Amino acid sequence: MDTSRTFSIHFWLNLAKEKEGLAPIYARITVDGKRAEISLKRVTQVTFWDTNAKKTTSRSTEGKQLNNYLDQVHAKLLACHKELSSDFELVTAQSIKSRFTGVDSKHKTLLQLVTYHNENTNGTLMPGTLKNYYTTENYLKLFLRRYHRTGDIYLRHIRYGFIIDFEQFLRKGPSLQGSNPLNNNGVMKHLSRLKKLMNFALDLEWVDKNPFARYKLKMHKHESEFLEKHELETLKNAFVPEEGHRIARDVFVFSCYTGLSYIDVKKLKKGNVVRGVDGGFWLFLERTKTRYPLRIPLLEEAMEILDKFRDVPIVENNGLLPVLTNQKMNSYIKEVAKRIGIDKKLTFHSARHTFATTVTLSNGVPIATVSKLLGHTKITTTQIYARVLEEKISADMDGLRTVLKNDGGRIGNKVSGR
């Protein structure tokens, strides 16, 4: 890209803002006849200003300091012009001003990145996910204040050490909710969001490299609870006198037989139930989290629950089920499970695990099919749910025993070389 043909720097007093003989000093950058002006946040006596030398004639200490400052500004503006030319950037009066004031891409800050990300992903990220980014932002602000004694930091100053320090801050400091410090996975989730932000900055060319390149997230794997076959039957048939608890139980069981997440069950409308290719009833919807299209044949157990609430007035807005708040659903499910002797820490998400393991995989449904039913874009995600039950292992081994018995021991003979 060609550099500009003309370039000049001019210091001047803004006499329109003169007060008591003092006027602010401005720098005027001119490139190819187009100007940009910068307030230098300095004032001087009008009577001491030399319009030809563009300096103060005052011989006081303050006057000498002001002239030194103007020399530094002049040198920095020349350097900005040189940097833009060397980087083959478009050289304009405005681009020089932006580089000087630190608002161009070379001088973007962490909080500018966070704000830009949140504003430009609002509408593409789920509200809950965006809320998590705001929480991470609040932790970063607190970290910058307490650890760096500043309100922000340039992206180009973020190094590997910044990540390590932020990790330790999250581990040792109190949570924003005022409870105990975050657990390991809570810490890793905030660091994962910071990593995604830095990748975003890399894509925007706001940074030259990602400080996370050598950092590995260390998530602890937790085995999520799910119901085995006899537990699911017990829960499904249990007598639950309280209406709220009974509703929570029924909606939970519905998810056990459809694999739907809480938000997807909550958003179900009557129009989501359609006739499928086999003539039976299916759920046609779009998964809220990933916008992935779901096509789920309704099992009899799920249809029974839909029939139970078909004419119930509590189902509003053309909804299929009277879904309570997530907090109440989790609370009521735990209480009902404890009451009927199921000693597991259940949450609504446990129903999704139950569908993947007890209802489908343990009954011989291929993992590829289960992946489609769950709305996963990668089969590796489904493998998290692919926990084979002891009952299924036992059944498989019984089948193997039968094969070996019918084979008359020939396999064993082949192995031993006889």
Nearest to 126 by CA among 296, 291, 285, 342: 291
My answer on whether 243 and 373 are in the same domain is yes
Report if pTM > 0.75. no
My answer on whether 266 and 357 are in the same domain is yes
Q: Is residue 248 part of a domain?
A: yes
Q: Is residue 220 part of a domain?
A: no
CB 281 within 8 A of CB 275: yes
- 229 Cα distance to chain centroid: 35
How many domains does the chain divide into?
3
Q: Is residue 411 part of a domain?
A: no
Q: Decide the pairing of beta strands 55-56 and 273-275.
A: unpaired
Q: Which residues, at least 6 apart from 343, have a Cβ–Cβ distance to it below 8 Å?
A: none
My answer on whether 62 and 119 are in the same domain is no
Point out which residues pair with 31 in neighbouring strands.
Answer: 7, 34
* Last residue of one domain, picked from the residues 152, 187, 214: 214
Q: Which residues, at least 6 apart from 282, have a Cβ–Cβ distance to it below 8 Å?
A: 273, 274, 275, 276, 295, 296, 297, 298
My answer on whether 90 and 171 are in the same domain is no
Q: Is residue 373 part of a domain?
A: yes
CATH number at residue 318: 1.10.443.10
Question: Where in the sequence is the domain holding 146, given as residue range(s)?
Answer: 108-214
Q: What is the pLDDT along the chain (418 residues), one digit of tens a residue?
A: 444 468 999 999 999 999 999 999 999 999 999 999 999 999 999 999 999 999 999 999 999 999 999 999 999 999 888 888 887 777 888 888 887 876 665 678 899 899 989 988 877 777 778 899 999 999 999 999 998 999 999 898 899 999 999 999 999 877 777 666 788 999 999 999 999 999 999 888 788 888 999 999 998 876 678 999 999 999 999 999 999 999 999 999 999 999 999 999 999 998 999 998 899 999 999 988 888 899 999 999 999 999 998 877 655 667 889 999 999 999 999 999 999 999 999 999 999 999 999 999 989 899 999 999 999 888 888 877 766 556 667 777 888 888 888 866 555 454 444 4
Q: Is residue 194 part of a domain?
A: yes
